[in-house]
Amino acid sequence: MMNPGQYFPVSLSALGAVIAACFVLILRALPRPQAPGMQRIWLAAWASMCAHFLLQALQRAGWHAAATGDLSLLMLVASLVAFSDWLVREAWPGGQWLLRTAGVAAVGWFLFFPLAWPNLQGLWAGLLLAAGALAALRLRWRSALSRRLLTFSLGAWAAAMAVPPGWLPGSAAFQYNFLDAFTLLSKTFCGLAMIVVVMDEQRHYLHDLFENSPLWYHTFDPQGVITDINSEGLLWLEREKPEVVGHRLRDFCTEDTLTRYPDVRSALNSLQQGRLLQAVEIEILGRSGKRRTLLGQTRGHYNPRGDFLGGRTMLIDLSRERELQRELLEAQKMQAIGALSAGVAHDLNNSLTVILGQIDYLRASSELNPQLEDRLEPIARSAHEAAAFVESLLCIARPGKVKLTRLDPQALLESAAAQLKTELDGSISLTVEHTPATPPILGDERQLRQALLKLALFACQTMPQGGALSFRARPGERADEAVIELRDTGNGIAPEHLPRIFEPFFNPGPSGPGAGLGLGLAAVSAIMQAHNGRIEVESRQGEGSLFRLAFRPAAEISSSAPASA
């Protein structure tokens, strides 16, 4: 039979064992955070604490008091070291072995000298816990709540272990019972703090997976309204989160996508019925007008009863893949056109040589009827236009056949402008801007002049009511790089037509700018490729266009293998 005075301490120990066992079950059931070692150590600590409380209850009940008391102290020290070990290792890696040495010393002290300096033993155990409390304060936890709660609970536990009972008022039984209750309360707060830390780590881990995913990820409610979106989705949309949350995905899709997938309600109904949606390819528009081709996969979100709560969509950017496919198709198309152009140009050249030769013969003949002489002019003009067309064909068929010489960009522009003025009417003004220190160009003067003329004639087609056309040569961004710019004040080019204006025979429509382009801009692109340069275009509808021809430094081209003449 137990003494009535033992009921309270035995009950406290039994309650502590139940609380410690609950913490073991909770920590074991929680998902593993980013630092699973922390969770395993704390799980072992609470298992040791549960064993300590059980043995302490048996000791206080009088069951093999000596043996159960020694084992209870051993489990207590093991739990103290386990509680502080992970924290000290994270805060002061060099002090981990010092802590473990102190823990082993405490175990030996408690086991072999249980009656020696009991107050000092409590102070020693309190110092082990205080080290953990200071380490918890030093660590940068995910939230201030978990750091403060863990530091406070470990500190309170350390104080309960270190304060000698004689320092408290009241009887000895009251002093020991008060310290037991206070210690159990601090341990309970410590367990709650550890659960908060583990859940906080898990929340941060899941948030990191969502927010820093390399893919677009967003969630939506049963009406299809976006409730959350990660940073990658916002980056692709070029918008802030408040501008996206509360809208539907279709609000950011192109008209073509809305035409192909008009019925959003049927998709939501399929998700509501638990059916999976097939992956679909959509196109979205960023704030700047940039288009992205995305492959989307949607899954529903349901509660345990199966009620539809919304869904989540993951989108993969296929823009680069689609661009590479277009470039491959364009290369194959240009290769086929080049092979065809070479044969056509050869046959046309033979016929044009005969036609132009006969025209020159008739003009030189003294027997030519004066009435027929005027009819030769349109024939000769058409033949020369056909010869220019053959030249364009040859630029595409043999882009590498250029004769490189050192050219002054300003002189090249003046020459092209002088030839162009003869073809312009009075409604279009032409200016040539001079920028000093423009590096020389290494290229074929005839082909480059032809490219400038073709660009200028294209620009003139975008100014049916007249306007201004300007040439400008300037230094490029890189050292010794030369840039030639052609700017017009025309109607501009529609965004959907910009990627295709350098395709052969591309025609955006009979009333659109550049109608009937033929091989003009395709030939310009081929000429720039032959000169190891690049051509860029900027255009806004109603604001005109800017064509930029950038040439590699002449020294780089001279040092590389020259193009064949």
Same domain, 393 and 438: no
Task: State how many domains the chain has.
Answer: 4
pLDDT digits (tens, 9 = 90+) for 26-83: 888 887 655 566 777 888 888 988 998 898 888 888 777 777 877 887 787 778 777 7
Residues 28 and 163 in one domain: yes
Tell me if residue 549 falls in helix, strand or coil.
strand
Strand ranges for 464-504 from DSSP E: 467-475, 482-488
- Distance (Å) of CA 531 to CA 298, 338, 402, 553: 48, 17, 8, 11
For 564, which DSSP code? P
Give me 522's structure tokens.
Answer: 């395709």
Indicate the DSSP class of residue 217: E
Amino acid residing at 456: A
In a domain, 323, yes or no: no
What is the helix (H) or strand (E) element at residue 38, kind and residue range?
helix 36-60
In which residue ranges of the chain is pLDDT below 50? 1, 509-516, 561-565
CATH code, 410: 3.30.565.10
Residue 362 lies in a domain: yes
Answer yes or no: is 565 within a domain: no
Give the domain range for residue 121: 4-211
CATH number at residue 305: 3.30.450.20
Reading the block at residue 537, the tokens are 């275009």
Same domain, 409 and 471: yes
Residue tagged 């020991």 (tokens):
176
CB 217 within 8 A of CB 301: no
Asked if 298 and 224 sit in the same domain, the reply is yes
Classified as helix, coil or strand, 407 is strand
161 and 15 inside one domain: yes
Residue 121: partners with Cβ closer than 8 Å, 6 or more residues away: 106, 109, 110
58, 84: one domain: yes
- For 90, the token pair is 């994270």
Confirm whether 564 is domain-assigned. no
* Any domain includes 322: no
pLDDT at 234: 93
Q: From CA 174, how far away is CA 177, in angstroms rounded?
A: 5
Structure token pair of residue 198: 């583990």
Name the residue among 496, 499, 524, 494 with its Cα closest to residue 511.
494
Residues 179 and 235 in one domain: no
pLDDT of residue 187: 84
Q: 286 and 236 in contact (C-beta within 8 Å)?
A: yes
Say yes or no: 382 and 518 in one domain.
Answer: no
Structure tokens at 176: 């020991």
Q: 418 lies in a domain?
A: yes
* Contact of 441 with 482, CB cutoff 8 Å: yes
Please report whether residue 327 resides in a domain. Answer: no
Is residue 552 within 8 Å of residue 481, measured between CB atoms?
A: yes
Tell whether 231 and 298 lie within a shared domain.
Answer: yes
| 187 contact partners, CB below 8 Å, separation of at least 6 | 16, 19, 20, 49, 153, 157
The answer to the question of residue 249 being in a domain is yes
Q: Which of 317, 344, 376 is the last residue of a domain?
A: 317
CA distance 201 to 190: 16
Give 165's DSSP letter: G
> Do residues 51 and 107 both lie within one domain?
yes
Q: What's residue 165's pLDDT? A: 64
Distance CA 509, CA 544 (A): 18
Do 175 and 253 fall into the same domain? no
Looking at residue 100, which CATH number applies to its domain? 1.20.1070
Query: What is the per-residue DSSP string for 210-241?
Result: HHT-SSEEEEE-TTSBEEEE-HHHHHHHT--H
Query: CB of 355 within 8 A of CB of 383?
Result: yes
Same domain, 190 and 224: no
Strand partners, 475: 482
